[in-house]
Structure 1
């Protein structure tokens, strides 16, 4: 048992914190049931939504299949085998309308269905109203499927897998910044061109990268792709960027497929792996030797064994794999929640759940797509790095790392 030498000021802070803790069960944590919610935003991909919900429903169903009713309240780990088993109930909060109306909808849902925590979830471009709601209501919001999360390290209750496209922007900035620092002192000013759609998450990532590059690069040109039949516009934008030092693409697979097959490319081409489809990115064959993709996961060969766990569970549950990453992350989020909750005895306090998640993450060795996960006080993104990868062949999906794992 650790012992700490606390001065009077620290002791007063500790006493004040303990007095704030409730002696009553938290909302959503009843004697025989734990209430959870998952949030779906209206701009979420319907395929991801259905994939996530199927995993959640099967996981909760399995959890409740072993429910045996209330046992005597647990006061000590000596009686761990007598622990109270609570049923888990899932509420699906599907939001509608514009993001500025989501907060009111969430508060309405919470009044009708008080929950102990929000588990997983799926969003598109906007997640900030959900993030702010969870922080304001002091509800743990654990590992949603969002590629543009809210970066707010002062927040306590929302916990994410990674910073998504914002992490990719930092990895790209580090690669481009190193190239700028190696350039000759009297070399011409470097130019970086970024192409993105203004109504997608790549817009925020493109502006973040431009801000990161400001100290090292004189000119960053932001090009918006607006047409729905983009082949002609992409050909023009790529042609205009041929003299740049680097071209960065924040585009979805449908747009990557429309890139011109024969084009004069800058020496460096970087593509968002998260947006482009990772190793499934449909780049033209003539682009593959030059292009590097950001890849914020373990490489396919590295995660093969770890993926046996979720994929095997999907087979047993007869779940069709329609979106492997979303389904794996949802399964992983549920597993982390189950492990954290199982160590809480009968102390179901939201703050304690977040602290248990921090602890449990550091012990895990099976992390699905991720090589490692870890949290500490003040950290709310469990995976902190990425690879830059390249295709090893003109066709196919085999990729190789172009350098080490980067933690910017």
Structure 2
């Protein structure tokens, strides 16, 4: 009950209180329903990249010749790519669908079309579509929904029959369109109007000569490229019909070396701190002694391209969208050794002694070899772990005397690369074959004992020294004209390859500095006459992240000069 004293006050202020209450309620309702009705951009991203709708189901629709599908593989990114900038392959041109392109009238930029016009196969339909003067108005949300569902653009023209027509409810459609509105609408961090920022990550305790050779090559390349770029910037109209179209793409490179602390547990913090001070568009090259995983995980979390670092242990079981490697390192070599052993015609059972220490460069490939031989009843795999050379000698002699079957010994030296050669005669006394990874071949500059040379086999994931690659002469000439000493040819040639590929990629994304777009271009360009001869072939495809896929098994034919010959064909596990 309201007291008599308060009633006059309430009577006078009641209407005001009601208005305030209604206003507050209206504000709450408006905010509540706005939140409900706001499209879910995260759902749109999932639809675009993974092909999964709001109910957790695969995309449904109809594709060419009215063939129905119910398959997440029909996601947008398969053709339009993660960047949204489209693709072209086999004479089929997939239009870009970024926010800045869809929601503006269609125009043609010669610089954007250049690599497609001059690098792709061109059937009649492709030539007609690429050179068509056809324009279209900007998409609205409504006309884009119609295009996705019915295959008709804003002017009423039918889209390519390759474009599926999707069955999406209104909620999923709104989410997808909201995602497209913001897809690649601005440049990624690490680039401004004049400069693209790059970094190379170098770990502690790496070989000083290798580090010097890699960084010297990078320094010369960046200086040379910046001189050329500055010339283009200073004379933008020197060739009005061609070069001026690319003026907006020209950026100077600013390259830094990020040195990591001794403790790998501190690497993520150090990388994050440096990135906060100056974001980089990409990492180029790099070198650590051991596991590359902490840098890999940082690049994935930060969506930073990491291009062709030098590492024996790139992660092979992790999510990998942003890191590209030359090969799988020691894991690849272990797979190749396993494939080599399985291909042998030995009728008798053999014991494979898998010799390794506890460090990752030794234990991880040893585990891979065991997995590779699993199921082959001809081989009994026995692990021999050691932490010192003395322990290796003692355990080897005990184990070897207990074995009745012939022994194949596979040695993963790890940090003992430079000292394992002295132990090979003892190992060879009880084994009919000794297999070692390529670092053991290259780390031991002294001769292997002549009496055991016939038992030594090495995995070799590189091109044979006798092979001929024309581009190698151009790379060597480039280095010689700059008085760049070639101290480690393979490492320096691979560094040049990575830099050259990055240069090509940045030139062809023009001024669309999307990291995803850069990676997509590199996937296509990796095998385009840039291989300097360090591997038989370097190639990538959509989603591929290891450019070389195989290895040889070799023997020494000249102990003094380290000449080798393969004992079989190139092995692709």
More displaced, 8-17 or 260-269?
8-17
Which residue does the alignment assign to 1:198?
A: 358
More displaced, 290-299 or 206-215?
206-215
Offset of residue 317 of structure 1:
2.2
Q: Is the 8 A contact 1:153 1:378 kept in 2?
A: no
Which residue does the alignment assign to 1:350?
A: 515
Q: Distance in 2 between matches of 1:20 and 1:216?
A: 53
Which residue does the alignment assign to 1:221?
A: 382
Q: Distance in 2 between matches of 1:157 and 1:200?
A: 23
Residues 303 and 131 (structure 1 numbering): CA distance in 2 closer, same or farther, change over 3 Å? farther
Residues 224 and 311 (structure 1 numbering): CA distance in 2 closer, same or farther, change over 3 Å? farther
What is the TM-score with the length of structure 1 in the denominator? 0.88
Residues 6 and 212 (structure 1 numbering): CA distance in 2 closer, same or farther, change over 3 Å? same
Offset of residue 356 of structure 1:
0.8
Matched, 1:256 2:416: no
Structure 1 gap segments, 5+ residues each: none
Q: Is the 8 A contact 2:418 2:444 kept in 1?
A: no
Matched, 1:246 2:408: yes
Structure 2 gap segments, 5+ residues each: 1-91, 94-159
Greater helix proportion: 2
Question: Once superposed, what is the RMSD of the aligned Cα atoms?
Answer: 2.8
More displaced, 247-256 or 129-138?
247-256
Offset of residue 137 of structure 1:
0.6
Q: Is the 8 A contact 2:447 2:560 kept in 1?
A: no
Q: Distance in 1 between matches of 2:479 and 2:383?
A: 42
Residues 7 and 283 (structure 1 numbering): CA distance in 2 closer, same or farther, change over 3 Å? farther
Residues 183 and 303 (structure 1 numbering): CA distance in 2 closer, same or farther, change over 3 Å? same
Matched, 1:398 2:563: yes
- Counterpart of 2:367 (choices 189, 207, 211) is 207
Report how many aligned residue pairs link the two structures: 397
Q: Counterpart of 2:479 in 1: which secondary structure?
A: helix
| Greater RCO, CA 8 A, separation 6+ | 1
What is the TM-score with the length of structure 2 in the denominator? 0.64
Which residue does the alignment assign to 1:101?
A: 266
Residues 20 and 278 (structure 1 numbering): CA distance in 2 closer, same or farther, change over 3 Å? farther
Q: Is the 8 A contact 1:168 1:272 kept in 2?
A: yes
Q: Distance in 2 between matches of 1:107 and 1:361?
A: 29
Residues 283 and 361 (structure 1 numbering): CA distance in 2 closer, same or farther, change over 3 Å? same
More displaced, 60-69 or 344-353?
60-69
- Counterpart of 1:39 (choices 189, 201, 209) is 201
Residues 14 and 354 (structure 1 numbering): CA distance in 2 closer, same or farther, change over 3 Å? farther
Offset of residue 16 of structure 1:
6.3
Residues 350 and 236 (structure 1 numbering): CA distance in 2 closer, same or farther, change over 3 Å? same
Residues 140 and 81 (structure 1 numbering): CA distance in 2 closer, same or farther, change over 3 Å? closer
Q: Distance in 1 between matches of 2:394 and 2:470?
A: 44
Residues 283 and 14 (structure 1 numbering): CA distance in 2 closer, same or farther, change over 3 Å? farther
Which residue does the alignment assign to 1:5?
A: 163
Which residue does the alignment assign to 1:315?
A: 480
Which residue does the alignment assign to 1:407?
A: 572
